[in-house]
């Protein structure tokens, strides 16, 4: 250790130093802003080194300013609550040269170079890239040992890594917020335009016949498809922003009933068959569970070449899980596509869509801890099966 062993209540042992570093690493992992990182850095440097005057210097284009200082240093500083008022080093100073060196160094400082309010004559400097500098010093002309320099370097690397992580997270949050705003604006405006198109097409219907009426039907069908795609894209955007998925108990029956009623009202030429009642259970999911069933049912009807598209919906309580099936009478799905149809960008053979609907289904069901698959229906068509875990209270 350095010769200034009387500056601290005790001289830290190797085990103490390593222990303090481990504690610091855990605290840094949980840190959310630079001020918290600076506090951890200064406290740890003071604890593991025999150089009690620790400082976190924040860098600007023209100077280094002390933003956090150790307790032993406070009595030497004229404004301990705001050390940056008096503890500054301008561009070109000796400390600035240490900051620009980009490597941890042991230093001895002359009386002329030392800060007048904080007589730091011996110590360690640890550059922290563009963020600033971490220093640990003493008022004696004591040079740090090689081990102390290594410990300071390890601490500095972890501090720098944390500062970079916080900056990345801040930038990602800013980007997510901007995307959220763009998503809200686009969805709102496009939804209004689609509603206007649908409304005007309905007005034209009363004045058209023959081929013109078919064009009106086409406009309304395209508007409906665009509205559904817009909703799916919005839900997918929500899913893709998730970093820590939280589920909750959701009553299955009301969700299935609401979705099947909406699909029946939307696709009046289709036949949707449901049981007299769905199982009275709760599954572990979230508010997007309805999007799972809506996308599966919409696919069953939209991509159906039968004269009367049909979808049979059923659900069974099977112990710890609930099985939901949607069976259609369409063209079915080839065996080679049964495993890939839920992947991003994949779609049914007869589909002109984007393939995001079933990808959203797979993503959500996986997040809920369930499973989804496809098999053949008899005599024709496809069956989409979903397994959803029951909520703990229902399992």
- Opening angle at CA 242, ends 237 and 248, nearest 5: 110
Residues 164 and 44 in one domain: yes
pLDDT band at 119 (very low <50, low <70, confident <90, very high): low
Q: What is the pLDDT of residue 240?
A: 63
Structure tokens at 157: 């690397």
How far is the CA of 362 from the CAs of 133, 249, 357, 370, 385, in angstroms? 48, 19, 9, 9, 11
Q: Is residue 228 part of a domain?
A: no
Please check whether residues 160 and 288 belong to one and the same domain: no
Kindly state the helix (H) or strand (E) to which residue 240 belongs, with its residue range.
Answer: helix 211-241
CATH number, domain containing residue 74:
3.30.450.40
Diameter over CA atoms, the chain:
100
pLDDT-based confidence at residue 350 (cuts at 50, 70, 90): low
pLDDT at 273 over 80: yes
Q: Is residue 99 part of a domain?
A: yes
Identify whether 266 is part of a domain: yes
**Domain assignment present for 186:** no
pLDDT-derived band at 192 (thresholds 50, 70, 90) equals confident
Residues, the chain? 395
For residue 117, the model assigns a pLDDT of: 46
Instruction: Decide which of 157, 172, 187 is a domain's last residue.
Output: 172
pLDDT of residue 356: 75
Residues 378 and 249 in one domain: yes
Taking a C-beta distance cutoff of 8 angstroms, is the pair 347, 353 a contact?
yes
Backbone torsion region of residue 120, taken as left when φ is above 0, otherwise alpha when ψ lies between -120 and 50, otherwise beta:
beta
User: What average pLDDT does the segment 332-340 reach?
Assistant: 88
DSSP secondary-structure letter at 92?
A: T
- Whether residue 372 is predicted with pLDDT greater than 70 in this model: the reply is yes
What is the value of pTM for the model shown? 0.53
The proportion of the chain whose per-residue pLDDT surpasses 70, expressed as a percent, equals 84
Residue 233 maps to a domain: no
Q: Which of 126, 128, 135 lies closest to 51 in space, CA to CA? A: 135
| Residue after which a domain boundary falls, among 172, 195, 216 | 172
Q: Would residue 250 count as lying in a domain?
A: yes
Residue 318 main-chain phi, psi, to 5 deg: -130, 65
pLDDT > 60? residue 309: yes
Question: Is residue 277 domain-shared with residue 166, that is, in the same domain?
Answer: no
Q: Is pLDDT above 90 for 155? A: yes
Whether residues 256 and 354 fall in one domain: yes
The mean-pLDDT minimum among 38-42, 62-66, 75-79, 345-349 falls in: 345-349
The pLDDT score that the predictor gives to residue 266 is 85
Q: Are residues 155 and 263 in the same domain?
A: no
What are the respective helix, strand and coil percentages of the chain, to the nearest 5? 50, 20, 30
231 within domain boundaries? no
User: What is the SS3 assignment for 311?
Assistant: strand
β-strands 382-389, 248-251: how paired? unpaired
What CATH number is associated with residue 359? 3.30.565.10
**Domain end call among 124, 139, 172:** 172
Mean pLDDT, residues 281-308 taken together: 92
164 shares its domain with 258: no
Residue 11, pLDDT above cutoff 60: no
> Omega into 379 within 30° of 0, i.e. cis?
yes
**What is the pLDDT at residue 338?**
87
d(CA 287, CA 242): 13
283 and 168 in one domain?
no
Amino acid 121: pLDDT: 67
The answer on pLDDT for 3 being more than 50 is no
Segments forming the whole domain that contains residue 307: 244-394
CA distance 200 to 238: 31
Residue 98, CB-side half-sphere exposure with 13 Å CA sphere: 24
Q: Which residue has the higher pLDDT, 293 or 302?
A: 293
Tell which wins on pLDDT, 243 or 69: 69
Q: How far is CA 348 from the centre of its chain?
A: 31
217 pLDDT tier (thresholds 50, 70, 90) = confident
Number of domain units in the chain: 2
Query: Is 192 inside a domain boundary?
Result: no
Q: Which of 371, 375, 343 is nearest to 359 (CA)?
A: 343
Q: CB of 316 within 8 A of CB of 275?
A: no
Q: Quick one: 63 and 166 in the same domain? A: yes
124 and 20 together in one domain? yes
């Amino acid at each position: 250790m350095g010769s200034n062993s009387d500056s601290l209540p005790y001289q830290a042992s190797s085990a103490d130093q390593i222990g303090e570093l481990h504690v610091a690493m855990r605290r840094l992992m949980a840190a959310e802003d630079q001020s918290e990182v600076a506090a951890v850095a200064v406290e740890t440097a003071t604890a593991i080194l025999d150089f009690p005057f620790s400082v976190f210097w924040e860098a600007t284009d023209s100077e280094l300013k002390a933003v956090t200082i150790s307790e032993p240093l406070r009595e030497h500083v004229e404004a301990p609550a705001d050390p940056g008022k008096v503890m500054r080093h301008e561009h070109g100073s000796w400390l600035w040269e240490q900051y620009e060196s980009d490597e941890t160094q042991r230093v001895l400082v002359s009386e002329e170079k030392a800060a007048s309010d904080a007589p730091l004559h011996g110590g360690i400097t640890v550059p922290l890239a563009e963020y600033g500098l971490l220093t640990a010093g003493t008022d004696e002309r004591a040079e740090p040992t090689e081990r102390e320099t290594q410990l300071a370097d390890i601490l500095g690397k972890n501090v720098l890594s944390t500062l970079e992580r916080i900056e990345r997270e801040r930038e990602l949050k800013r980007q997510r917020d901007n995307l959220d705003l763009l998503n809200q604006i686009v969805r709102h405006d496009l939804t209004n335009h689609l509603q206007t198109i649908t409304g005007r097409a309905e007005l034209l219907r009363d004045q058209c016949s023959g081929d013109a009426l078919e064009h009106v039907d086409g406009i309304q069908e395209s508007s409906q498809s665009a509205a559904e795609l817009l909703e799916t894209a919005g839900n997918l955007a929500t899913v893709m922003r998730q970093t820590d998925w939280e589920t909750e108990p959701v009553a299955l029956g009301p969700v299935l009933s609401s979705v099947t009623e909406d699909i029946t009202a939307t696709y009046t030429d289709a036949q949707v068959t449901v049981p007299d009642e769905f199982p009275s259970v709760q599954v572990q999911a979230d508010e997007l569970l309805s999007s799972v069933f809506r996308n599966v049912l919409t696919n069953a009807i939209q991509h159906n070449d039968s004269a009367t598209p049909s979808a049979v919906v059923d659900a069974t309580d099977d112990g710890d899980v609930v099985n939901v099936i949607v069976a259609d009478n369409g063209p079915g799905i080839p065996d080679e596509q049964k495993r890939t149809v839920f992947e991003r960008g994949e779609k049914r053979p007869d589909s002109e869509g984007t393939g995001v609907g079933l990808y959203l289904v797979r993503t959500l069901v996986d997040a809920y801890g369930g499973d989804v698959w496809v098999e053949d229906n008899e005599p024709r068509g496809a069956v989409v099966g979903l397994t959803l875990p029951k909520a703990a209270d229902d399992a």
